[in-house]
C-alpha cells in the first residue's frame, strides 16, 4: 500500500519461498490491481518458468546462477552454463502442435482419420480445424505457411522474441508476438448467447490486421476455432499469452492482469 501511495507499481517480493511463493503473489495481485512483482529467494531453474509465465511477474532474481564459491574460484564456465540453463527454463520452449493445411473440411477429416487409423488418435472436430490428439491440427483451409505450421509454446512471448531474433530468426512484422485475447463473447453475465454479440464486430476488424486472436469462452470447447480464431479455455494460459485482453465487462478473474484489459465496463457493473 505504501508503494502504491508513492506511485510505485513494481515491487520486490523477498524471500518468496518464505512468504508463500507464487501462490501468495497471485493472492496479493487481487487486491493490489496492476502491481507487478519481482520474486527473489527460492527461485531456481526448476520453478523459474512457472514464475515467468505468470502475468503479474515483472522479473525474477536469484544467486543460484552465480554461486559465491564459483565466483571466488573463477569457475566462469559453470556460471555460464547455469545462466544458459536458467534462461532456457524461463523461455520454456516446447512443441505445442503441428498444423497441416488442407483445401477444405472433407480433406481435413480424411487426413485426421488417417492419424486415427494409424495411431489411435482421438479426433476433435472444430469450426475451422480438426485436432487428431492434442499434437496435430488439421486445418480446413490453406492457413499459415505453404503446407502448414509448427506451433512452439513459450512462457513469455516478449522474452522469446529478442532471443529468436538474436538467433537469426525474423519476426513477422509490426504485429509479431501480439495476441489479442477476447474474454467471453456473451453480453450479459449468466448468458450463453453470444451469436449476436457486438464484440464479434471488434474481432473482425482485428482480423483484417492479421493479428492472432485467442478466445476464452467456456461455452465453447477448448481447442476449437470460431471464425478461424483459437478457443483457449485454460484461463492462466489465456492471460499469460495474450498481449491485450478485450472484455465486455470486468471480471474478478482478470484482476491480476487488469493493466492489459480493455473493457466498456467502466463502472464495474453489468
Q: What are the domain boundaries of the chain? A: 7-90, 94-153, 175-270
How much of the chain is helix, strand and coil, in % rounded to 5?
35, 20, 45
The CATH number of domain 175-270, selected from 3.40.50.450, 3.40.50.720, 3.60.20.10, 3.50.50.60: 3.40.50.720
Q: Of 177 and 158, which is predicted with more confidence?
A: 158
Nearest Cα neighbor of 147 from 198, 111, 186, 181 is: 111
What's the pLDDT band for 188 if we cut at 50, 70, 90? low
Q: Are 39 and 22 in contact (CB under 8 A)?
A: yes
pTM above 0.85, yes or no: no
Long-range contacts of 233-239 (CB under 8 A, 24+ apart): 236/53, 236/54, 238/181, 238/183, 238/214, 239/55, 239/181
Q: Which CATH architecture has domain 7-90?
A: Alpha-Beta Barrel (3.20)
Peptide bond connecting 15 to the previous residue in cis, omega within 30 degrees of 0: yes
List, for residues 212-229, the tens digit of each pLDDT value.
Answer: 899 999 988 888 877 778
Residues in the chain: 270
Q: 182 in helix, strand or coil?
A: strand
Nearest Cα neighbor of 29 from 15, 8, 50, 9 is: 9
Alpha helices in the chain (DSSP H): 2-5, 21-29, 48-52, 68-72, 76-91, 105-119, 157-166, 199-208, 235-241
Q: Are 100 and 142 in contact (CB under 8 A)?
A: no
User: pLDDT at residue 202 above 90?
Assistant: no
Dihedral angle computed from the Cα positions of residues 157, 160, 162 and 164, in that order, rounded to the nearest 10 degrees: -130
10 Å Cβ neighbour count for 29?
21
Give the whole-angstrom CA distance, residue 176 versus residue 212: 9
Mean of per-residue pLDDT scores for the chain: 88
Q: Is 50 exposed, middle or buried (0-12, 13-18, 19+ CB in 10 A)?
A: middle
Mean pLDDT of 3-19: 92
CA end-to-end distance (rounded Å), the chain? 29
Amino acid at each position: 500500500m505504501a508503494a502504491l501511495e508513492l506511485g510505485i507499481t513494481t515491487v520486490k517480493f523477498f524471500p518468496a519461498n518464505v512468504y508463500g511463493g507464487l501462490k501468495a503473489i497471485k493472492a496479493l495481485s487481487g487486491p493490489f490491481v496492476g502491481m507487478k512483482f519481482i520474486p527473489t529467494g527460492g527461485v531456481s531453474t526448476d520453478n523459474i518458468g512457472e514464475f515467468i509465465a505468470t502475468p503479474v511477474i515483472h522479473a525474477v532474481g536469484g544467486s543460484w546462477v552465480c554461486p559465491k564459491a564459483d565466483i571466488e574460484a573463477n569457475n566462469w564456465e559453470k556460471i555460464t552454463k547455469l545462466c544458459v540453463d536458467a534462461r532456457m527454463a524461463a523461455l520454456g520452449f516446447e512443441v505445442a502442435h503441428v498444423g497441416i493445411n488442407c483445401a477444405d473440411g472433407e480433406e481435413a477429416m480424411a487426413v485426421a482419420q488417417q492419424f486415427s487409423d494409424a495411431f489411435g488418435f482421438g479426433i476433435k472436430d472444430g469450426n475451422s480445424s480438426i485436432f487428431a490428439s492434442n499434437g496435430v491440427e488439421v486445418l480446413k483451409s490453406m492457413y499459415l505457411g505453404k503446407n502448414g505450421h509448427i506451433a512452439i509454446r513459450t512462457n513469455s512471448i516478449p522474452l522469446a522474441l529478442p532471443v529468436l531474433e538474436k538467433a537469426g530468426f525474423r519476426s513477422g512484422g509490426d504485429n509479431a508476438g501480439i495476441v489479442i485475447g477476447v474474454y467471453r463473447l456473451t453480453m450479459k453475465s449468466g448468458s450463453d448467447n453470444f451469436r449476436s454479440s457486438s464484440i464479434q464486430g471488434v474481432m473482425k476488424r482485428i482480423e483484417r490486421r492479421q493479428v492472432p486472436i485467442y478466445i476464452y469462452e467456456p461455452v465453447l470447447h477448448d481447442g476449437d476455432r470460431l471464425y478461424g480464431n483459437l478457443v483457449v479455455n485454460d484461463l492462466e494460459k489465456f492471460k499469460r499469452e495474450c498481449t491485450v485482453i478485450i472484455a465486455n465487462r470486468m471480471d474478478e478473474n482478470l484482476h491480476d492482469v487488469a493493466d492489459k484489459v480493455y473493457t466498456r465496463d467502466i463502472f464495474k457493473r453489468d
